[in-house]
């Protein structure tokens, strides 16, 4: 009988071969899929902030998400989709430009790709240039420097992007504490009628998105509408009635709440943004490994779930408007999160790592005539009240288990709408305005489309040091000294932490700081690092040399 190490070595060898096969598969873009595109289709892109796969359609039997589940029942749903970096701005810029963070040169929030990397055409810009009215509501691009303080307007959008006026209160003292005073807390259930302006950002975003849909319908114009919801991003500020869905006595802790014994220190996320909240500061938790008290852990998990159900209600209202405006039969709907979020797994909270819980995201595509064939007179989307105890979870439509990447969104959506095919990016591609580094997912939409066990997904995360520091979660570019590169296959995740030069934007593949290898079929939570330097070092260098060249 072969040893486990021999088995792991074989898997790594297979991955080395498959990474080259993946390159070959990219040439399939040069021909139209048998399913083709859908001429004249509108696009509704729903982007969610910090949502892990805690949804009913992904098998979570705790979270109540009936409206998103309803969308999934009419969609192609990807169960292993991964962000290219588990933090908001780099991830969003990556999938909206079709380029990886190494090409956008954005690893924090402090640069604008058109000035610091290349004048890359964006997904909405591509639709705008092909006659669509492009509109942005809420958090689509990350606001601030990373989108030129304009959400990349006017390049990407036909009209100035909309941001909710109540957004400015998200991190202020609007959370009622046990002392009766207002605080800037992590956990923040509110009475909506009593908060500033009597509303919340996602409520305003839904209202504005519906207004824009009505206008587009009246004008009979082809539209690309991106709606970015804030929840479940912290603080957990949501209508307090959603707590009723999750009694605290029913909330369990993470199944693996301890830091793995063989986890390299550089891989650990010390969740410094959580520690800044007043209610967490009051716990006096030691840095960096001090655990959060169990009861407060349950409160965090309860609030996250409640935030997801609140989000689901907003998505449900938006989808119901699509139905009521008779747009469901000619609108492609894409639902995705920018990255995941840890709820105590590995002793971590927030994102900021290469673990699946931080990089894995929900991803689904609803395409009239392809993912659903219902007739016009039949309703596809109806609002479902999450407080209805009679909720029946609908099974997802077509489920695909291959590892796929968010960077594929650009080419996939454009191809589904039957816009001209995007060329593959050369290496390097800083001088090329229009190309893609993401492989189109269109083959998965064909009737004969089959899963391909040879696909892989790449993610990365920067660190300032080999050990957890105050800025380990989100180091500024100038402070990055180490980059963790991950390859995710159907069977395992392999990560190398290597030296990085933030001035030249170069990784030194020979400067190995740490390694991780997890067999996800037998260790789905990725708690047991099996990397053995004597067996896997050379192969790991070949693998990452391939993606870094």
pLDDT digits (tens, 9 = 90+) for 351-409: 999 999 999 999 999 999 899 866 555 789 999 999 986 666 678 889 999 999 999 99
295 is catalytic: no
Q: Which residues contact residue 367 at a Cβ distance below 8 angstroms, ignoring those fewer than 6 apart? A: 38, 41, 75, 76, 332, 416, 445
pLDDT score of 410: 98
The first and second tokens of residue 468, run together, are: 């957890």
Position 278 pLDDT exceeds 90: yes
Tokens 């989100």 locate to: 474
* Count of beta carbons in the 10 Å neighbourhood of residue 234: 26
pLDDT, mean over the chain: 89
Position 37 pLDDT exceeds 70: no
- 3-class DSSP string for 500-538: EECCCCEEEEEEEEEEEEEECCCCCCCCCCCCCHHHHHH
The answer to whether the peptide bond before residue 387 is cis (omega within 30 degrees of 0) is no
Element (H, E) at 23: helix 4-25
Strand partners, 334: 45, 365
CATH code linked to domain 4-548: 3.40.720.10
pLDDT category of residue 510 using cuts at 50, 70 and 90: confident
The answer to whether the peptide bond before residue 66 is cis (omega within 30 degrees of 0) is no
Element (H, E) at 212: helix 201-219
Candidate list 57, 88, 188, 435, residue with the active-site label: 88
Distance CA 55, CA 134 (A): 29
Q: Kindly report the CA angle at 83 between 358 and 142, in degrees rounded to 5?
A: 95
Predicted confidence (pLDDT) per residue in 170-228, tens digit: 999 999 998 999 999 999 999 999 999 999 999 999 999 999 999 999 999 899 999 99
pLDDT score of 126: 98
Predicted confidence (pLDDT) per residue in 77-132, tens digit: 999 999 999 999 999 999 999 999 999 999 999 999 999 999 999 999 999 999 99
3-state percent breakdown (helix, strand, coil) of the chain, nearest 5: 35, 20, 45
b/e per residue 43-79 (b: at least 16 CB within 10 A) = bbbbbbbbbbbbbbbbebeebbbbbbbbbbbbbbbbb
pLDDT category of residue 532 using cuts at 50, 70 and 90: confident
CA dihedral 150, 155, 157, 163 (to 10 degrees): -10
pLDDT score of 50: 98
* Count of beta carbons in the 10 Å neighbourhood of residue 445: 23
Candidate list 20, 57, 142, 346, residue with the active-site label: 142
Please, what sign has the CA dihedral across residues 370, 373, 376, 380?
negative
Q: How many angstroms from the chain centroid is the CA of residue 216?
A: 28
Q: 296: closest CA among 233, 236, 358?
A: 236
pLDDT score of 379: 86
Position 143 pLDDT exceeds 80: yes
Q: 47: closest CA among 337, 268, 424?
A: 337
425 is catalytic: no
The first and second tokens of residue 425, run together, are: 């990016």
The first and second tokens of residue 40, run together, are: 């004249």
Q: What are phi and psi of 340, to 5 degrees?
A: -95, -155
The number of residues in the chain equals 549
Distance CA 266, CA 543 (A): 20
Position 515 pLDDT exceeds 70: yes
Distance CA 407, CA 384 (A): 31
pLDDT score of 539: 66
pLDDT score of 451: 58
Mean of the pLDDT values across residues 40-68? Answer: 96
Predicted confidence (pLDDT) per residue in 7-29, tens digit: 333 333 334 333 332 333 233 33
Q: Which of 362-376, 462-476, 517-531 has the lowest mean pLDDT?
A: 362-376
The one-character DSSP state at 111 is -
pTM score, two decimals? 0.91
- pLDDT above 70 coverage of the chain, percent: 87
- pLDDT above 90 coverage of the chain, percent: 82
Predicted confidence (pLDDT) per residue in 405-459, tens digit: 999 999 999 999 999 999 999 999 999 999 999 999 999 987 555 556 578 999 9
Distance CA 134, CA 124 (A): 6
Mean of the pLDDT values across residues 537-548? Answer: 62
| Residue 176, helix vs strand vs coil | strand
Q: Kindly report the CA angle at 306 between 301 and 308, in degrees rounded to 5?
A: 95
Position 149 pLDDT exceeds 90: yes
pLDDT score of 39: 55
CB 542 within 8 A of CB 494: no
């Amino acid at each position: 009988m072969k040893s486990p190490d021999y088995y792991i070595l074989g898997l790594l060898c297979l991955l080395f071969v498959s990474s080259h096969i993946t390159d070959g598969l990219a040439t399939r873009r040069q021909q139209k899929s048998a399913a083709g595109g859908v001429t004249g289709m509108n696009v509704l892109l729903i982007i969610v902030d910090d949502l892990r796969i805690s949804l009913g359609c992904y098998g979570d039997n705790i979270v109540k998400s009936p409206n998103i589940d309803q969308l999934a029942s009419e969609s192609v749903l990807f169960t292993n989709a991964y962000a290219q970096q588990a933090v908001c701005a780099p991830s969003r810029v990556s999938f909206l430009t079709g380029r990886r963070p190494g090409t956008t040169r954005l690893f924090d929030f402090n640069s604008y790709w058109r000035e610091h990397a290349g004048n890359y055409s964006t997904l909405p810009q591509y639709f705008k240039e092909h006659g669509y009215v492009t509109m942005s509501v809420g958090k689509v691009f990350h606001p601030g420097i990373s989108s030129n303080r304009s959400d990349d307007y006017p390049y990407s959008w036909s009209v100035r992007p909309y941001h909710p006026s109540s957004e400015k209160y998200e991190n202020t003292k609007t959370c009622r504490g046990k002392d009766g005073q207002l605080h800037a807390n992590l956990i923040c259930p509110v009475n909506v009628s009593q908060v500033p302006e009597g509303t919340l950002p996602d409520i305003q975003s839904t209202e504005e998105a519906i207004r824009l849909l009505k206008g587009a319908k009246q004008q009979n114009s082809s539209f690309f509408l991106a709606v970015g919801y804030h929840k479940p991003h912290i603080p957990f500020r949501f209508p307090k009635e959603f707590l009723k869905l999750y009694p605290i006595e029913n909330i369990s802790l993470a199944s693996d709440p301890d830091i793995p014994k063989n986890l390299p220190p550089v891989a650990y996320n010390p969740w410094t943004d959580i520690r800044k909240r007043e209610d967490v500061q009051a716990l006096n938790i030691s840095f960096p490994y001090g655990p959060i008290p169990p009861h407060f852990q349950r409160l965090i998990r309860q609030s996250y779930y409640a935030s997801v159900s609140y989000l689901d209600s907003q998505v449900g209202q938006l989808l119901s408007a699509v139905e009521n405006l008779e747009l469901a039969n000619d609108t492609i709907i894409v639902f995705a999160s920018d990255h995941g979020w840890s709820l105590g797994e590995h002793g971590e909270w927030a994102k900021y790592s290469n673990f699946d819980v931080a990089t894995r995201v929900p991803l689904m595509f609803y395409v009239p005539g392809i993912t659903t064939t219902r007739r016009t007179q039949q309703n596809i989307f109806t609002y479902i009240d999450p407080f209805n105890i009679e909720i029946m979870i609908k099974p997802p439509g077509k489920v695909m288990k291959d590892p796929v990447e968010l960077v594929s969104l650009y080419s996939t959506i454009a191809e589904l709408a039957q816009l001209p095919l995007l060329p593959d990016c050369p290496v390097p591609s800083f001088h090329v305005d229009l190309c893609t580094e993401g492989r189109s997912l269109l083959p998965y939409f064909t009737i004969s489309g089959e899963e391909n066990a040879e696909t892989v997904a790449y993610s990365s995360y920067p660190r300032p040091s080999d050990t957890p520091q105050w800025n380990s979660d989100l180091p500024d570019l100038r402070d990055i000294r180490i980059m963790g590169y991950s390859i995710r296959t159907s069977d395992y995740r392999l990560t190398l932490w290597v030296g990085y030069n933030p001035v030249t934007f170069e990784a030194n593949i020979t400067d190995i700081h740490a390694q991780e290898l997890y067999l996800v079929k037998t260790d789905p939570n990725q708690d047991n690092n099996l990397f053995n330097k004597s067996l896997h070092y050379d192969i790991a260098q070949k693998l990452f040399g391939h993606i870094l060249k």
